[in-house]
């Protein structure tokens, strides 16, 4: 004969408790993982929007700056034509008897303006080169970020 004691109890309350425990365990871990995944996805979307905005702004800025040298060249051409007109006018004035000394200050100022325009053109070219460098760095950064997200997956 065995010395173990047995007790008869209904199993339905125990089964109900087991089902409730399983449900609580399943719900809590799945819910937390789901929330974490939603946060990660939202972070990725936000990051992509920022990158798209930066790329768009960079492209627009490059487009605008690429137009500047042409406009500066046009301005220089106009200034050169104006200088030629002044030279012709001064030669005509000289031929008519008035001296070139009357136009010398104006010609000096115009020459100074032409030099300033040349300096502006050089500055614009330098800025365009710097923007190209920034564009390359942004592209490398963007590739690094997308590689980081791919590595995390």
Amino acid 148: pLDDT: 62
- Report whether 110 contacts 86 (CB < 8 A): yes
Residue 63 vs residues 51, 58, 71, 73, 140: alpha-carbon distances, Å: 18, 9, 13, 17, 20
Reported as half-sphere exposure (CB side, CA atoms, 13 A), residue 95 has a value of 6
Identify the three-state secondary structure at position 6: coil
Distance CA 81, CA 141 (A): 47
Amino acid 90: pLDDT: 79
Q: Which of 49-57's residues contact partners 24+ apart within 8 Å by CB, and which partners? A: 51/142, 51/145, 54/138, 55/138, 55/142
Averages of pLDDT over each 10 residues, the chain, 153 residues: 72 83 73 82 90 91 89 90 88 68 80 92 91 88 70 57
Taking the whole predicted model, whether its pTM rises above 0.85 is answered as no
**Backbone φ and ψ of 3, nearest 5°:** -100, 0
Amino acid 150: pLDDT: 56
Amino acid 147: pLDDT: 66
**Backbone φ and ψ of 49, nearest 5°:** -65, -40
């Amino acid at each position: 004969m065995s010395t173990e004691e047995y007790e008869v109890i209904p199993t339905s309350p125990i089964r109900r408790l087991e089902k409730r425990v399983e449900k609580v365990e399943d719900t809590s871990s799945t819910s937390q993982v789901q929330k974490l995944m939603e946060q990660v996805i939202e972070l990725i979307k936000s990051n992509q929007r920022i990158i798209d905005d930066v790329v768009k702004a960079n492209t627009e800025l490059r487009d605008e700056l690429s137009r500047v040298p042409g406009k500066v060249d046009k301005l220089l051409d106009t200034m050169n034509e104006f200088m030629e007109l002044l030279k012709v006018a001064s030669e005509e004035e000289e031929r008519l008897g008035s001296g070139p000394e009357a136009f010398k200050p104006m010609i000096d100022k115009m020459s100074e303006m032409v030099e300033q325009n040349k300096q502006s053109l050089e500055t614009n070219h330098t800025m365009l080169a710097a923007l190209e460098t920034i564009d390359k760095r942004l592209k490398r950064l963007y590739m690094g970020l997308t590689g980081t997200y791919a590595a995390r997956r």
